[in-house]
Chain A
């Protein structure tokens, strides 16, 4: 059965303290790996999609990377406004996404 595991479940950082979130997956034939950000009371907001091992994407302080078994979301010099839950998902055969349980990031000033 396809699975997506995210770690850690929660992460507390000081402003400016860089770190990484992990997403490991087991899927037969990866069609795409997606990162979303979810703020409290809102729907997931698309950040990145990665399709092949070695691919990297960047947006402001965020950088997503992909290997054959996992993806990392690197956060460089985070700010309090980066606080949110970050969700990883893999695309299943067909069109549904399988989500991990998320990493809740808190950045304090």
Chain B
């Protein structure tokens, strides 16, 4: 049973399109995250939700909109995709309190052509 699962694993699309990435965790965690890993493998936080509420919103273009329908799901919608959006996007979750170990999904590789 995969603890943090993301779909799709690969996403190839044209510039200007809108796409979504889905994430689900079955760990019973309260907090979920989206990270972006660029071509140099640098992993950077984008958003964090705790119990469906946005708590961290780094400097990310407003073309990126996270949505949390419940605390087990955090989806990422991207409008008007640009070449620079090409990266691997990781979802993670944690208990969110005390010792904050984050568990990551396998990633979604987005390629914008």
- Known contacts A32-B100, A45-B104, A49-B99; A96/B90 CB under 8 A: no
**Which of under 10, 10 to 19, 20 to 34, or 35 or more describes the interface residues of A?**
20 to 34
Task: Convert A33-67 into 0s and 1s, putting 1 for each residue whose CB lies closer than 8 angstroms to a CB of B.
Answer: 01010100111111001010000000000000000
Which residue from B40, B42, B102, B107 sits with its C-beta under 8 Å from A46? B102
Q: Which residues of chain B (1-48) have a CB below 8 Å from chain A?
A: 4, 31, 33, 40-45, 48
Contact present for B105 and A95 (CB under 8 Å): no
Query: How many of chain B's residues have a CB under 8 angstroms from any CB in A?
Result: 27
Task: Convert A68-109 into 0s and 1s, putting 1 for each residue whose CB lies closer than 8 angstroms to a CB of B.
Answer: 000000000000000001010101001111110110000000
Most buried by A among B90, B101, B103: B101
Contact present for A43 and B104 (CB under 8 Å): yes
| Chain A residues whose C-beta falls within 8 Å of the C-beta of B106 in the assembled complex | 41-43
Q: Is there a chain B Cβ closer than 8 Å to A31's Cβ?
A: yes
Q: Which residue of A lies closest to B41 (CB)?
A: A102
Contact present for B107 and A34 (CB under 8 Å): no
CB distance from A12 to the nearest CB of B (A): 17
Q: Which residue of A lies closest to B90 (CB)?
A: A43
Q: Is there a chain A Cβ closer than 8 Å to B68's Cβ?
A: no
| Chain B residues whose C-beta falls within 8 Å of the C-beta of A97 in the assembled complex | 45, 102
Contact present for B56 and A43 (CB under 8 Å): no
Task: Convert A4-43 into 0s and 1s, putting 1 for each residue whose CB lies closer than 8 angstroms to a CB of B.
Answer: 0000000000000000000000000001101010100111
| Chain B residues whose C-beta falls within 8 Å of the C-beta of A41 in the assembled complex | 106-107
Q: Cα distance A102–B62 when bound, in Å? A: 28
Given contacts A46-B101, A99-B42, A99-B44, 6 further A-B contacts (CB under 8 A): A36-B104, A43-B92, A43-B106, A46-B103, A85-B41, A94-B55
List residues of B whose CB falls within 8 A of some A CB: 4, 31, 33, 40-45, 48, 50, 55-56, 58, 90, 92, 94, 96, 99-107
